[in-house]
Structure 1
């Protein structure tokens, strides 16, 4: 067979042929480069799922993936997530890998502006270099760019001054990479990395100090999360998860539902729906192994495990009108609004779709935040193509919307009949939860907070300088 050499084409033809050959060679190199990155990109995709990026960076109601616009509730106001698609105009398309890593680990955008810690860079700072690289490859090669700006965050003064976050970071950001703990198993260390560096469990479940920084001495000990309460998930048998079996905890992480114990709502339902259900079984078991050995933190208010309170009601005859006048207001409201699904006995539906109310962590907790939030906002989570839904009764648009007093009365009845009898709910507590939950000191101080932070940094710097001078004067 003769090999065609292109002779006889003339100068222009040979130049054209050379250009085509060059383009083809570049195409082959590009294809090889993309193919070489595919395993890295796939790894990055899994890491992005484990880090729950889509939950916060995708607007509800059909928003495009990673295009931002989700409003993250905070005591200082709603913080809207940014567009993290590779759009060069509206996303992170111009970011170098170093800029991407700095945003993840230090909370500093490509343009040098500071992010608020609603973006959990305080946890992502523990990510390894290899995982940052995999995430970068995934977002730059596999995520489709969305050419639209995300909704801007507008906080009240002085929190709208992003530069103040430099002071906060200087005081509170522990900018260290994850290091496996000697003496711990491979599974426990893997679970630790997954729970902290990726799933950022600490950002919700660890209480915060007056400046909204995590209290390391009470890691995973439970914390207010706007209207919801992220419970204690340490190994304490009463206040935490010490009494849960490994299978119970694994099922909860994968499905958000453990009949006769707990159901996920609010932010935890989002974590299950967008992240945890997609983790492989080995990683779920690693998280379980880590959580089950977290040092116990006990709360004196917890007299028994949250899932051990209550029993079925025996007052079904009263709901049939035989003794209607004997019903307290909360009980009457319960019969009209709740009993159709959860049954008058509180046993829920036979298939478990509507959960039982007794032996339920939301009802047995020492504080009623999650019960109130569930009634106000409802529950929605989709796991394995199966949607769990309960309407919220606190919305004015819902036909059966309830007042704060109504919800307080229902909550008190449910607590007394099916849950923790020590808990009684007032209309003022419902109002507080409806309006975003307890406000930390930094939110209440308002304009005085930032000057206080700066003064604190200056005082620390002055004290350090004084110590250095004294040390220098010693013979």
Structure 2
């Protein structure tokens, strides 16, 4: 059975519930449809679009219109703005034929022939079946309201701004092929593989990238830096991956964004849960779990136990209160004092979190037990904001745009190191430089760091080539003249 048919048949799924609730951002009733649109096909396309999380990237924050684009994706090469994919013929994809729509999805090439950047996960969507592309086309043409407003243009620095260069990148790294069920696995595993690898494009975030920013297939789902956030290892390994999680914990995490005693979704993963994963049926989520459990395990040799197995509850509160009444402000100079002032009211003085774990425990937590402290730092700088299952989880950020008092880089580092020492992996240390890097968007890959010298490098290389050509021509000319002179001498 096709994946879309599987989804469509589950009338009691989260998708059906969503439609009945009439959520504004997805509701069909508010969107005019042409008479020739097949309602069942449009509905199936809508369900696929939710599973593919199209809304997250193609809707601008702070009141952007659904699918009108303008969401700024902070890539290491610069900000990439998502395009308008409403059926507007003026600013969107309303003039696209189905073949052009399919080419954009699977090959990353727009109707005008320009190349898309792989921030649009066409390297995953290339696996979409013809039937699913057809359903998606029906939805975007007949189930989405047209918006006649153009999205901001992406302007990356040279040479990344040369879209034509993506043709070579695609030749090297795009494996254009449709998903084919693996006969060595059952239907549930294959269903999960299609959801995880194609529609939900998990590898786009969880797989590290090589020098040319293509996914490293040898480290598939092995964990990757995503700007200031870290998308963890989700392979079947029991130490570095999700092998020690129960099925119920994995399903809970995908559906609600949290699994008490393990992890809570923030950053890009919170967006995936909020806009997509929470609406998948339990059968869909169970299939993803089955697939992940069957992935090749990838182990970090430095890890001896799972990240969630670090730490224990502890409190130093009694040593802080009232000890320096004449210098109250000065008490907030240590990690312990800063934690008490800014964090303990939600996470409790002993780090155990709230009873419901809406404010999670700081021990038995992958954000504090991981060898990579990026998510701990980013949570403080950027906060946590997600809505799932009718519950809104909000942690205020303490970065520059904080509506509470912003914290400095040294203060963030002090809190992080206190939390790591008290509740998490005490072997990990956060420096002020780590915080500065996260505040500036996260580690920059080598290719991005080389960008400032690329133009002079290209000029120097071009001059060297020209010089070599000139030298070769001169040498050939001298040889020719010498040869003529020898012939003349011999004749004489």
Rounded to whole Å, the distance in 1 between the matches of 2:240 and 2:132 is 34
Q: Are positions 1:422 and 2:422 aligned together?
A: no
Query: Who is 1:50 aligned against?
Result: 51
Q: Which residue of 2 aligns with 1:294?
A: 295
Partners of 2:192 and 2:418 lie apart in 1 by: 39
What secondary structure does 1:73 align onto? strand
CA deviations on 1:172-191 (whole Å, 9 max, x unpaired) are 11111111112111111110
Q: How does 1:305-454 map to 2 (within 5 A)?
A: 305-322=306-323, 329-446=334-451
Partner of 1:228: 229
Unaligned runs of 5+ in 2: 1-33, 462-492
Per-residue CA deviation, residues 221-272 of structure 1 (Å, 9 max, x unaligned), is: 0001011110000011110000001110001000001112110000000000
Deviations 1:412-461 (A, max 9, x none): 01000000010110000111111111111211121666999xx9xxxxxx
Query: Quick check: 2:87–2:144 contact (8 Å CA) kept in 1?
Result: yes
Q: TM-score, normalised by structure 1?
A: 0.86
- Match of 1:48, SS state, is helix
Q: Deviations over 1:79-104 (max 9, x none)?
A: 01000000001000000000000000
Give the superposition deviation at 1:369: 0.4
- Sort the Cα spacing of 1:48 and 1:449 in 2 relative to 1 into closer, same or farther, 3 A: farther
Q: Deviations over 1:293-330 (max 9, x none)?
A: 11100001222101111111132322433589999711
Residue by residue over 1:61-116, the C-alpha shift from the partner in whole angstroms, topping out at 9 and shown as x without a partner, is 11110000101110001101000000001000000000000000000001110000
Alpha-carbon distance between aligned partners in 1 of 2:153 and 2:332, rounded to the nearest angstrom:
50
Q: Which region of structure 1 is more displaced relative to structure 2, 276-285 or 438-447?
A: 438-447
Question: Aligned with 2:392: secondary structure?
Answer: strand
Q: 1:317·1:323 contact (CA, 8 Å) conserved in 2?
A: no
Partners of 1:418 and 1:440 lie apart in 2 by 31
Tell me the residue number matched to 1:245. 246
By how many angstroms is 1:331 displaced?
0.9
Secondary structure of the 2:238 match is: coil
Cα contact 1:318–1:327 (8 A) shared by 2: no
Write the distance in 2 (CA, Å) between the matches of 1:41 and 1:449: 47
Partner of 1:105: 106
Report the Cα distance in structure 2 between the residues aligned to 1:58 and 1:327, rounded to whole angstroms: 40
* C-alpha distance in structure 2 between counterparts of 1:187 and 1:434, whole Å: 42
Query: Residue 178 and residue 270 in structure 1: after superposition, are their counterparts in 2 closer, same or farther (change >3 A)?
Result: same
Paired residue secondary structure (2:164): helix
Query: Structure 2 length normalisation: TM-score?
Result: 0.83
Aligned 8 A contact 2:331 2:337 in 1? no
Counterpart contact for 1:154–1:160, Cα < 8 Å = yes
Instruction: Indicate the residue corresponding to 1:172 in structure 2.
Output: 173
Distance in structure 2 (CA, Å) of the matches to 1:328 and 1:364: 24
Whether the 8 Å CA contact 2:317–2:340 is kept in 1: the answer is no
Deviations 1:380-426 (A, max 9, x none): 00112221001110124533101111101110010000000101100
Q: Name the residue aligned to 2:272.
A: 271
Q: Secondary structure at the match of 1:387?
A: strand
Name the CA shift for 1:448/1:101 in 2 (closer, same or farther; >3 Å): farther
CA distance in 1, matches of 2:124, 2:354: 39
Paired with 1:397 and 1:326, the residues of 2 have a C-alpha distance of 22
How many residues matched? 421
Q: 1:227, 1:180 → 2: CA distance?
A: 36
8 A Cα contact 1:236 1:296, kept in partner: yes
Per-residue CA deviations over 1:136-166 (Å, capped at 9, x if unaligned) read: 0010011000111111111111111111111
Q: Look up the match of 2:205.
A: 204
Trace 1:42-81 onto structure 2 (pairs within 5 A): 42-81=43-82
Show the counterpart of 1:260: 261
1:399, 1:41 → 2: CA distance?
44
CA RMSD in angstroms, aligned pairs only:
1.8
- CA separation in 1, counterparts of 2:324 and 2:348? 18
Superposed CA offset, 1:6-47 (max 9, x none): xxxxxxxxxxxxxxxxxxxxxxxx84x43xx21111110000
- In the alignment, is the contact (CA less than 8 A) between 2:115 and 2:167 conserved in 1? yes
